[in-house]
Structure 1
Amino acid sequence: MQEQFLLYEVLSPDQRIIVDAVKKHCSSVMDFNPRFSFFTLHGSTHIENLVTIANNLIDGGIKLQENEAFYLYLSICLHDIGMTIPLKDLETKSIFKGLELISDPTYAENFIRENHHDLIDEYVASNFSFLASLDIAPSTIAIVKEICRAHRRVNLGDLSGHEKNVGALLRLIDELDIGPSRAPISTLNAKYKEMDSTSCWHWFKHNITQDWQLHHNMRYVTRNNKKSIEFIVVVSPPQESSIPYWLKQCIRPLQKVLEDEKVSSIIDERWNTKITIHYGSQMSKKNYLGDDWNEIEQIALSSGKKTILLIDDESRKMEDLFLPLMENYHIMYSVNAKDAFTKLAATQIDLAIVDMQIGSGDLWSAQETQNCKTTGVNICNKILTDHPTTQIGVLTGTRHEVEGLSFDKLAFFCKKPIQPSHFEKRVNDVLR
């Protein structure tokens, strides 16, 4: 039996006819839905990806019964269909759950994006004749609706039977679709300057994350008659320093689904197979593809975050100090004064953290900086004059007395070395 047909092969001939028709219908509706210009793909590509992931799970030891496979396949096709429900077809209270309508259309569409799992009823009500024409029993529709709703947010512990078990499987499969095909690189490369930073973040994350490949970043393991499927997340961003950040961003939602939402224990209890997620730190490598690719990452990293600019010629040695901050802030680096002011002119910097002894990049002469001893003071004073909305913190290892600095205008003044927890608190106190 070929791996790519494992889920399909479990189905009866009649069930295959049904899923073929539903898959064709949903793919067509989702592929040509204009609602979200820069949202990652949710049509035929996503459906095919989920079927492939389901096949991998079956190949690794999750043996589905015929009805389980049927419910899963239908739910894979239908789980995102709520995104296509026209706003005009819904009453205000239906969309906003009793909240008053907000005039901003972006809010309405974002709400549906976040709550499409609850709109499956609207789709079924509008398409019942189509579903009935395929001889899908109302009892089957009821089960599939609950499984679709369970693919996000619904407490699986409140469900039972197929709704709980297949719902957990769908939630995992959906979360595992993190590879590049969800966000075509041709579109990202051509349109990234038009994208908002949040969309850019999602598209970029998909493009730097490797697809699941058996014997590479996916393994089937049996220990003491216990089956386990291991997924190893591997990323390839343009900066080596951002690898830990992107690994965490990919792994965190998977761990949340498996552990916090109990999907791992539900799957293990039903199919006696353990699902585990691992950091591919050693497999993840820097993949610099030019200035545009680096710019895309910078836009992605700035998504909804305040920006910190570290101005220090030894910034790369301080990555461990700044890594905890990358969760909540966008971190940029400059190794000299000239580069720092280029970045200050190009983007909004919320906090500049300045070392006192640093090269000027020919912005000032050696005499003007006393052979780099006062470059940091010059930087701080120029920021105060040219960029008054940017707060300034000093982090320095200099042993010299610092003169000419307006200490009362600094957010903080810290000496190296400094405890990461203490430094994180100082930054949070300034920016939060």
Structure 2
Amino acid sequence: MNLEAALADTDYVSQLASIKKHSEEVWKMETFHHAYYTLHGMDHSRAVISMLDGLVDGINPDHGLTNPEIFYLLASVYLHDVGMLIPYPDDEDRANEINARKKRLYTKEDLIRDEHHLRSGEYVTEHAAELELDHVESECVKLICEGHRVVELDTEDYSDRLIGSERIRVRVLAALLRFSDELDISYKRAPKKLMAILEEDMPDYSRLQWLKHYYTSGVDVSVQRSNGARKTIVEIQTQHPDRERGRKITDELISKPIERSLEVVDRILLEYGLNITLDPPEIRFNKSLDEIPEHIYDKYLGQQLEIFVKIPRIQNFVGRKPELHELLSSLDKNIIIIEGIPGVGKMYVATRFADEIRDEYDVYWYEDLSEFSTVSSVMQKLAVFLKENGRSRLFNSIDTRGYDIDVLITILKDELIKNRFAIFFDNYHRAEDELNPLMKQLLRIESSKIILITSEEPAFYNIVDEKENRIAKIKINPWRDYKDTQDMLRQRGIETDDHTSREIHERLHGYPQYLNLFCILAQRSKPETLLENLPKALEEARSYLEREVYNSLEANEKLLLTIIAVYKIPETIDAFHIVDKSTDISETLGSLIHKFLVSGIGVDTYSVDEIIRDYCLSDVKKRKTLRNYHRSAAEYYLSKGDNPEYLLEASHHYIEAGDNEKSSRIVIKNTGDFITKGFWTKIEAPLRGAIKTLGKHRHDKNAIKWVGLAHMSIGDLYSERGDLELALEHAQESSKAFKRTTGGDIFALYGLFGDIYIRMGEMDRSREYFEKSLDFAEKIMMTIERLWRMVILGACILQRGITRKLSNSIQIV
């Protein structure tokens, strides 16, 4: 639809021409306070109108815009940015106050830009006579101008206005302007010649915004019609000189702002039949384009993107405004807990919250907590994050002094106090027992924020902590308002009447994940037919939906979904390729993401929602097939190196594959590393399991040797913990096993006995075992260097009472 042409034969055409002329003169005469911002003015207004032409074409004809509405919308387009030209006397002082809270330099120009929608509205009111608008018309245009950014549109201010006998739907007009304004991203707004003139003195952040437009080839809006239904498609094309960076830049700087804008206005536009779908951006490689300067990339995108690509991507965010408002109002608390049952939308709310606070806090999303996580493993990842943000004390301490947890917590607390971090822990309930003591230590940190996403309420705080406002608890419940369900149906292209939407909502109790399964089926069948077949009881309805959705998938979709479900934590495409040898799974993966069955956790990292994980695995008919999947998963984790969490994941998957002996040997061989890196609590049960598994082979000398090694490993563990009687008991059991076989590490075992007796204060017995070590060394012709190091270590233990494990000397010498 050509909006301006629609007014050609109306009385509005001359009035609009007058406003257009006035705007043009203002942009020519006034001082532009943003020399380094991308181009605004008349060209921008014309581009916005071009986007509006396409968007309005997608509105249901029964709800089409009237000529008066088209006029007020176009008038607002020409005036919505004039506030960029208006300074206030106190801009400098106010900008300085805000700058103190921001992570980057904040100037009066930034303040003008952030308030320009309000200043534009004020300009319309003050210049109404010059614009040939009466007091009612100018109020209408003012609201639309102000509503093109930031302003809450779901308020009474944006209810319909009457101008004479004409009803003007101000809310939808403001929503249309807001989204079309966001869509004007193009290299034409950042001419290379002009950028070359300005770039020498251009602030880094402004240059980044210019490059965002420079890399965007264009945006197109088109309407598709099928069986009487309309769908409006937004297509984005970008070009980049670097493929990998191009993907990240497109996602973070181009796609995400458009998605955010659509989420704000989507419900409003859907009421008028405007159903908008964002196509995945088409990213092309063009090596002739300029690269982002390295220092700008590192400063604004490098680490920031590494962090934000780990945050789950949210699609079609629906509702949750009260919860989001509650979260934003909780920033005066130290630890914020987001709690809710699986599938209710905790992660989606947390993701939006992270995005909202990113300008005031350095955000870190710790996405892969598992039952194998420990305080030391969490410290290691936080240390890397801090180091990449220029704060390396924690990393250096781990590197030089190891995992002295008390020291590490002291350093972490100091870093959190001195800086403004927001650290998100997803699936906190999986590691609650390990991490609760750490959280208790962090309760009094005020400047940084800890956000815990969990299915169970943690137990590290008490009523005093709540009374003293150290804790905020935000409960995420199923949707209460059936309109949220209705929005979800509309966003997925499912048309229902009000009565059917209410019934779907009530039958599924507003659970987003259950509703998602319903939507998948409703795209192939009528919602009313689905309701007829849906069991009345909620759990039975969920089981029915899981089964029907899974059965509706193609064979390759079922296979990939099952493979992803095998992994308990989010994993990369590489992990899925190891299990499935097919060469390209991207198309299948895209289909599962589009159906909301798989979530993207950063670039090329994915997971299956807990609510459907078990069903996927239970559908594998052949136990041998599932075991092969787990075996491949174990091999994948072993290929990732000696990280204790990966080794424990490998051990777990070998157990699931039925390879208990392989699982046992992983734990036994790496016991020393597990203990050194703080995984004590994670290996006792696996070691006992190893003894039970390998002990079944009573006549197999190799198995007996491994039993001895397992007992020795448990002895090491108990010795470090100070449980000396138990340590001695397992050392003795190890000795018995080694006597039955020619294998076994006698040298390390004697060292263990020596260490235990030193701790017990029995120096003579300790000396006896060190002497046995020397005799044993001579018998096996130990190298002089290795023997000398062992002697020095033993002497130090005897002289100074140092209680380090002698068995570790095997790895040293």
Q: TM-score, normalised by structure 2?
A: 0.35
SS of 1:220's equivalent?
strand
Greater mean deviation of Cα atoms: 296-305 or 226-235 = 296-305
Which of 198, 201, 207 aligns to 1:194? It is 201
2:15 to 18, 40, 61: 18
Q: Do the aligned residues in 1 keep the contact of 2:224 with 2:230 (CA within 8 Å)?
A: yes
Structure with greater contact order relative to length (CA < 8 Å, sep ≥ 6): 1
Instruction: Indicate the residue corresponding to 2:69 in structure 1.
Output: 68
**Which ranges of structure 2 fall in alignment gaps of 5 or more residues?**
161-168, 311-389, 409-637, 647-813
Larger radius of gyration: 2
For the pair 1:174 / 2:144, whether they are aligned, the reply is no
Q: Does structure 1 retain, via aligned residues, the 8 Å contact 2:91–2:111?
A: no
Residue 187 of structure 1: CA displacement? 1.2
One-letter amino acid of the counterpart of residue 129, structure 2: S
TM superposition shift of 1:54:
1.4
Change (3 A) 1:196 1:16: same
Matched, 1:140 2:137: yes
- The CA deviation at 1:393 is 11
| Residue 325 of structure 1 pairs with residue 329 of structure 2 | no
In structure 1, what is the equivalent of residue 192 of structure 2?
Answer: 185
Candidates 382, 392, 400, aligned match of 1:408: 400
Gap change, CA 1:418 and 1:188, over 3 Å in 2 = farther
- Fraction of identical pairs, as percent: 24
Q: 1:191-230 maps to which residues of 2 (within 5 A)?
A: 191-213=198-220, 218-230=221-233
The residue aligned with 2:107 is 107
Whether the 8 Å contact between 1:8 and 1:16 is mirrored in structure 2 is no
CA contact (8 A) 2:187 2:217 kept: yes
Q: Is the 8 A contact 2:178 2:261 kept in 1?
A: yes
Look up the equivalent residue of 1:229 and give its one-letter code.
T
Match of 1:317 in 2: none
Q: Flag the 1:41–1:66 CA change in 2: closer, same or farther, 3 A.
A: same
Relative to 1, partners in 2 of residues 1:36 and 1:110: Cα closer, same or farther, differing over 3 Å? same
Partner of 2:384: none
Kept in 1, the 8 Å contact 2:39–2:190? The answer is yes
Aligned AA (2:184): D
Change (3 A) 1:418 1:264: farther
**1:164 partner amino acid:** R
State the one-letter code of the partner of 1:47: S
Q: Secondary structure at the match of 2:37?
A: coil
In structure 2, the CA distance between the partners of 1:227 and 1:327, relative to structure 1 (3 Å rule), is: same
Among residues 58, 61, 68, which one is paired with 2:56 in the alignment?
58
The letter of the residue matching 1:179 is: S
Shift in Å, 1:264? 1.7
Tell me how far 1:56 sits from its aligned partner: 2.0
| Higher normalized helix content (fraction of residues) | 2
- Structure 2 SS opposite 1:235: strand
Q: Distance in 2 between matches of 1:189 and 1:155?
A: 38
1:253 paired residue number: 257
- 1:254 positional shift: 1.4
Q: Is the aligned partner of 1:269 residue 2:271?
A: yes
Shift of 1:96: 5.0
On the 8 A contact 1:82/1:119 being kept in 2, the answer is yes
Match of 2:474 in 1: none
CA contact (8 A) 1:10 1:64 kept: no
Equivalent residue for 1:37? 35
CA displacement at 1:149 relative to structure 2: 0.7
Question: Is 1:289 matched up with 2:288?
Answer: yes
Superimposed CA distance per residue, residues 125-156 of structure 1 (whole angstroms, 9 cap, x where no aligned partner): 5423312xx3x221111111011111111111
How do residues 348-363 of structure 1 correspond to structure 2 at under 5 angstroms? none
Q: Secondary structure at the match of 1:233?
A: strand
- Deviation of 1:75 after TM superposition, in Å, equals 0.6
Residues 76 and 141 in structure 2, CA contact (< 8 A), matched pair in contact too: yes
| Aligned residue number for residue 46 of structure 2 | 48
Q: How far did 1:419 drift?
A: 12
Q: Does structure 1 retain, via aligned residues, the 8 Å contact 2:73–2:177?
A: yes
Per the TM alignment, residue 265 of structure 1 is displaced from its structure 2 partner at its CA by 2.1
Aligned-partner Cα distance in 2 for 1:276–1:197: 33
How far off is 1:407 after superposition?
Answer: 4.0
Give yes or no for contact 2:99–2:106 (8 Å, CA) kept in 1. no
1:234-279 per-position Cα deviation (integer Å, ceiling 9, x unaligned): 21111001122122121111111212x1x12211212x12111121
The residue that corresponds to 1:78 in the other structure is: 79
Q: In structure 2, how many angstroms separate the alpha carbons of the residues matched to 1:101 and 1:236?
A: 34
Shift of 1:297: 5.0
- What 5-or-longer segments of structure 1 have no aligned partner? 309-321, 329-388, 395-405, 424-432
CA deviation string 1:154-176 (max 9, x = no partner)? 11111222221101001011011
CA contact (8 A) 2:48 2:180 kept: yes
